[in-house]
Amino acid sequence: MRLRTLFATATVAALTAVSVAPRAAQAQQAPTGTFYMGTYANKILVIDEATLAVRDSIPLTVGIPYKMLLSENRQHFYITNPRQDQVEIVDIASRKSTGHFTLSTPRTTVQIDGFNVEPKERFAVMLVHSTTKRADRYEITKPILLRYDLAKRVVTDTIAWPRGEERDNAQIIFSPDGAFMYFFTSTDVLVYDAVTLKQVDTWDLAQSFFEEGMGRINAGFGGDLYEEPGFYTNLFRSTDPVNHRAMMGVARIDLAKRSVDFFSLGPSATTTFRLAPGKKMAYGLHTEVGNHQFWTFDLENRRVVGKTEFEGRSRMVLAVSTNGALLYIHTAGPTIDVYDARTYKKLRTATYDADMTALVLIPAQPTGAGR
């Protein structure tokens, strides 16, 4: 296994606030993506990114779309309801539901606490627990890992917990070709064959993030629509073992090669992280009472180039437009606020007829293109 670690220490000055990020102007072609907004009205609104006008809606049979999992090929949504005991599959091209399933029975409710779909959509892996009503009590099982055949709509396997250690949550990521499953623990990554469900390797991710004088580093593996399949770019946090300072940086992980590139930014701060198209820039939100900020990350030069205060709201999620020129603030509520990514000036607010539960922006793909 080849490990390539890049480390560059940024000065504290790189984290000081500036009013406008000193970078080239963003491309000004109109954005070409589509928003899919889950709502409390038991439907998904289909919204044109360029105009923010509603073009269609997708009614759901399971009720409120509590979570919206996008398939790796961006062809389907897997929707879970608020009770997390039903899953509905939506075909994005036709904008229609293709059906739904549940593991529950009249006496037993099976709650799906975790759910991920294999890239070729042959099966899903679920973390579940069940509650059975008896005459005098309710019986609640321990967490169980299952493999669910999406074509036959049946559970085919129970997956043994790694090292026999049961847990209430689990993160399982598939390789882009669907051949392997990566099971994340607190210290390492266990690699499983996705067909046999047998462990075939172990990746000491914590050691991969080790740098003399920095201590162990923790980073998330959240997906991003502007990242390549099998790669994950996110902020990491660490604690200086000598001075006990909380530090922050950016890491890019190649899952297939099990390699990590990372660099330090400076003292840790509470902020989110979203890539921009092209992966040269990224943006974040810092939110606290009376202090909402846009953060701008220059990934080419490995530094923070802007921290700009704005009015904000109590609950916010950030998305970056498909042309990189706009920033969207959404969730919760019925509105999307649009900001200029260069000046951070608020341009408009689009209001809809239902509060949203989730919002997914999917870039347009050229004809015949696939992931």
Q: pLDDT tens across 169-221, in order?
A: 878 899 999 999 998 776 678 899 999 999 999 887 766 665 544 445 555 56
In a domain, 5, yes or no: no
In the structure encoding, which two tokens stand for residue 107, read together? 């006496």
Tokens of 181: 């499953």
**CA 204 from centroid of its chain's CA atoms:** 23
- The reply to whether 1 falls in a domain is no
Distance from C-alpha of 87 to C-alpha of 65, rounded to nearest angstrom: 9
pTM, two decimal places: 0.86
- Based on the structure, what is the number of domains in the chain? 1
CA-CA distance, 181 to 123, in Å (whole number)? 12
Task: Answer yes or no: are the C-beta atoms of 161 and 167 closer than 8 Å.
Answer: yes
* 279 in any annotated domain: yes
Query: Which of 192, 234, 239 is CA-nearest to residue 211?
Result: 239
Answer whether 104's CB lies under 8 Å from 85's CB. yes
Domain annotation covers residue 272? yes
Residues 6+ apart with CB under 8 A from 224: 232, 233, 274, 275
CATH of the domain at 164: 2.130.10.10
* Torsional class of 121: left (φ above 0), alpha (ψ -120 to 50), beta (otherwise): left
Q: Is the peptide bond before 332 cis (omega within 30 degrees of 0)?
A: yes
**Nearest CA-CA partner of 242 in 214, 211, 217, 264:** 214
Q: Which of 3-17, 104-118, 247-261 has the highest mean pLDDT?
A: 104-118
Side-chain-side CA neighbours of residue 18 (13 Å): 15
Whether 198 is covered by a domain: the verdict is yes
246/122 Cα distance (integer angstroms): 42
The reported pLDDT for the residue numbered 6 is: 31
**For the stretch 62-77, what's the b/e string if a residue is b when 16 or more beta carbons lie within 10 angstroms of its beta carbon?**
bebbbbbbbbbebebb
pLDDT at 314 over 70: yes
Q: Which residue has the tokens 């997390």?
A: 84
The stretch 273-289 carries a mean pLDDT of: 94
4 in a domain, yes or no? no
* pLDDT for the residue 257: 86
Query: Which residues, including other chains, have CB under 8 Å from residue 243's CB and lie 6 or more apart?
Result: none
One-letter amino acid identity for 324? Answer: G
Q: What is the largest CA-CA distance in the chain?
A: 69
- DSSP annotation of 106 reads S
Question: 2 lies in a domain?
Answer: no
Extract the tokens encoding 4.
């390539």
In terms of pLDDT, which residue wins out, 144 or 204? 144
| Residue 41 forms part of a structural domain | yes
For residue 70, CA distances in Å to 28, 36, 67, 223 come to 28, 11, 10, 10
- pLDDT tens digits for range 320-360: 999 999 999 998 899 999 999 999 999 999 999 999 999 99
Count of C-beta atoms within a 10 Å radius of residue 339 = 21
Query: Which residues span the domain enclosing 318?
Result: 12-362
